Structure 1
Amino acid sequence: MQHGQVEGVCLSLKGTTVERPFGPDSQTFKVGGKIFAILGDDGGLSIKLSEVAYEALTELGVMRRAPYLPRGGWAYTDDVTGWDDQELSDLIARSHELVAAGLTKKARLELGL
């Protein structure tokens, strides 16, 4: 998957906003003010994973613990171009779902989730 495609997938998810709070080298995608993906201009991507997905993907060595996000199942891949489009799209969508599920019911309703 190409960098621009990852950006497109993130922006296509309901209620998504994008910011650059960590500087000009990375985009932070949020739902309800909570981060669900961080995409570096270098092609690195951090996303939130379920416990099962985190264990499986880190054990296989295709992802590792996300730098600066040591808790809560955050994983990092160095290069999005090595991923199958559908697989990475699904992981990003699941990250969005996991983060959105932690929002209040009111916030989810306001975002149409």
Structure 2
Amino acid sequence: MTREYVNSVCAALPGAELSDPWGGAHDAWKVGGKMFACVGSVGDGVSVKTLDIETAQMLIDAGIGTKAPYFHRSWVRLPWETEADEMQHRLITSYDIVRASLTKKIQASLPPRS
């Protein structure tokens, strides 16, 4: 997988926005102002949010991801070698987790999730 693949999956999600909050070529994907995916400037993979620390640890133990540097323990880094369907699933799941955590008012302002 590549940065371009991650960006294409994320761009297709309703209300998703790309930003570079730290400068230096970071791709931070947000929904309602909250980040759900990030490709760092090194570009060795994408970091995504999981449901909880236990889920992140399970993905790490299974060899699917690694600890996401600089992020909470509920985030994992998926390397570019991750299968396309797994990468897409984790990006969409991260988006759904973050979107569900937004206030009802912000959720109502976003395009519907089909």
Q: Given the two structures, how large is their TM-score scaled by the length of structure 2?
A: 0.86
- Computed over aligned residues only, the root mean square deviation of the Cα atoms, in angstroms, reads 1.6
State the 1:62 CA deviation.
Answer: 2.8
Establish whether residue 11 from structure 1 lines up as the match of residue 14 from structure 2.
Answer: no
Q: Deviations over 1:56-84 (max 9, x none)?
A: 2111233122111134x11113x32x111
State the 1:20 CA deviation.
Answer: 0.5
Q: Deviations over 1:30-67 (max 9, x none)?
A: 00000000013523211001235313211123312211
State the 1:112 CA deviation.
Answer: 2.5
Aligned position for 1:110 = 109
Aligned position for 1:45 = 46
Which blocks of at least 5 consecutive residues in structure 2 are unaligned?
none
Q: Give, in whole Å, the separation in 1 of the partners of 2:3 and 2:99.
A: 23
Query: Percent identity of the aligned residues?
Result: 32
Aligned position for 1:25 = 25
Q: Give, in whole Å, the separation in 1 of the partners of 2:64 and 2:90.
A: 13
- Code of the residue aligned with 2:75 in structure 1: it is W
Q: Give, in whole Å, the separation in 2 of the partners of 1:28 and 1:19.
A: 5
State the 1:22 CA deviation.
Answer: 1.5
- Code of the residue aligned with 1:18 in structure 2: it is L
Q: Which structure features the higher share of helix residues?
A: 1
Aligned position for 2:64 = 62
Aligned position for 1:97 = 96
Q: Give, in whole Å, the separation in 1 of the partners of 2:44 and 2:4.
A: 10
Q: How many residues are treated as equivalent by the alignment?
A: 110
Which blocks of at least 5 consecutive residues in structure 1 are unaligned?
none
Q: Give, in whole Å, the separation in 1 of the partners of 2:83 and 2:63.
A: 16
